[in-house]
Amino acid sequence: MSQKEQLIFCPLGGSGEIGMNMNLFSYGKPDNLKWLIVDIGVTFADDTLPGIDLIYPDPGFIIDKKDDLLGIILTHAHEDHIGAIAHIWPQLKCNIYATPFTSVLIKEKFKEKKIEIGNNLKIVDLNGTIKLGAFKIEFVTLTHSILEPNGLSIETPVGTILHTGDWKCDPNPLIGNTINEKKLKQIGAQGVLAMICDSTNVFNPGRAGSELDVRQSLLKIMQNKNKRIVVTSFASNVARMETIFYCAKRIERQISLVGRSMHRIYKAARQCGYLKNVIDPIDPREAKKISKEKIVYLCTGSQGEPMGAMMRIAHYVHPDVFIEEGDTVIFSSKIIPGNEKKLYNLHNQLVKNGIEVISEENEFVHVSGHPNQEDLKDMYNWVKPKSIIPVHGEHRHMMEHINFAKEM
């Protein structure tokens, strides 16, 4: 009796939870399946796991099948999608496929761990296509809160799967390309067997919002300050980084980057041709010499990380950045669930010292990188999938996504 080919989707992480995304695809006869990995991410431990910093999916299942592994494909460079790559890849030793910005950050990860990957890292052009076994994979440019986010159109002999990765609809992302709506409509017209889609903001009505709107709001806020301004944000959000550079120039201030991640992302973005038209940042050691009404600091630690620059600044243990009564700290980020206690402690520490604290609670200083309901409607109307597999969410997000899709 002849065996039928199978198309399998197997999430090892990122489904039923937010973080540590790792998904497997396979195609072939049951005794000859060939596998793809899409993303290898981490999540960060909370207070319930003392002594643990990082958590990543158990790769044992795919390590056992590494001889049938065609490669690893990375959708974008957020830690919950690439953070475990240097931990797991040495046990797989396969090719890694990513667009240029993600590739630069991947190289840094391997260099930091002193792991030699040789020619195993393959750079894919934006909107490029690769062929791996029975899989034809087309990278589709989307918009998110990082440079070069990609959906994946995965074409197989039995149908096409669209794996969205993380995305939203941002008509004005400020840096990088806009969402490739034309390609998504083409993929939809050809027929999509299943769409594997981001569920993070499925409870949120309306749209996620645009980076342009945040820029306009931040400029108004910063124009009215006459002492030091410290902005803390996710380092990986290069559009937000460019916005702070833009605002600093508009209000005739110098800018200084504080924190290793901020410097690493700035360097990677410049290397890939982004941030070419911004003013040059100055070293924090030089910034100390500039009068307080003429400097903006952009620093890491927006989630109250104990070793983040913002926490050290707030507790007056940072060697280069000093703040005092009357200065302003802007948290241009959301509060990630689970971080409330340490962030509010940080806010309180600042306020006790006479620092003005601005956050998403009292001003418009942040937009999400994930799709709200109107964004999801757009994607469904473009792609028209026959079935939906919700991912990137807790169980409540995924069930709500199913209910939402049924109404489409």
333 with 400, same domain: the answer is no
Residue 2: what pLDDT? 56
> What is the distance of C-alpha 145 from the center of its chain?
6
Same domain, 235 and 195: no
Task: Indicate whether this model's pTM tops 0.85.
Answer: yes
Q: Which residues of the chain, if any, have pLDDT below 50? A: 1
118-136 burial code (b ≥16 CB/10 A, e <16)? eebbeebeeeeebebebbe
User: 314 and 169, same structural domain?
Assistant: no
Work out the number of other CB atoms within 10 angstroms of the CB of residue 113.
12
| Residues 235 and 147 reside in one and the same domain | no
Residues 27 and 159 in one domain: yes
d(CA 344, CA 364): 18
199 and 343 inside one domain: no
Q: Which of 380, 407, 399 is nearest to 16 (CA)?
A: 399
Give the CATH number for residue 100. 3.60.15.10
Please tell me the total count of domains within the chain: 2
Based on the fold, state whether residues 145 and 69 are members of the same structural domain: yes
Whether 389 is in a domain gets the answer yes
- The answer to whether 378 touches 206, Cβ cutoff 8 Å, is no
pLDDT of residue 52: 84
Same domain, 382 and 280: no
Do residues 230 and 180 both lie within one domain?
no
Same domain as 197, residue 79: yes
CB 182 within 8 A of CB 206: no
Q: If you write DSSP's letter for every residue of 307-332 in order, what string do you get?
A: TSHHHHHHTT--SS----TT-EEEE-
Question: What pLDDT sits at residue 328?
Answer: 99
Question: For residue range 301-327, what is the model confidence (pLDDT) as tens digits?
Answer: 999 998 899 999 999 999 999 999 999
The answer on 69 and 215 residing in a single domain is no
Bridge-based pairing state of the strands 22-28 and 6-13:
antiparallel
pLDDT, residue 1, reads 38
In sequence order, what are the residues at sequence separation of 6 or more whose Cβ sits closer than 8 angstroms to the Cβ of residue 407? none
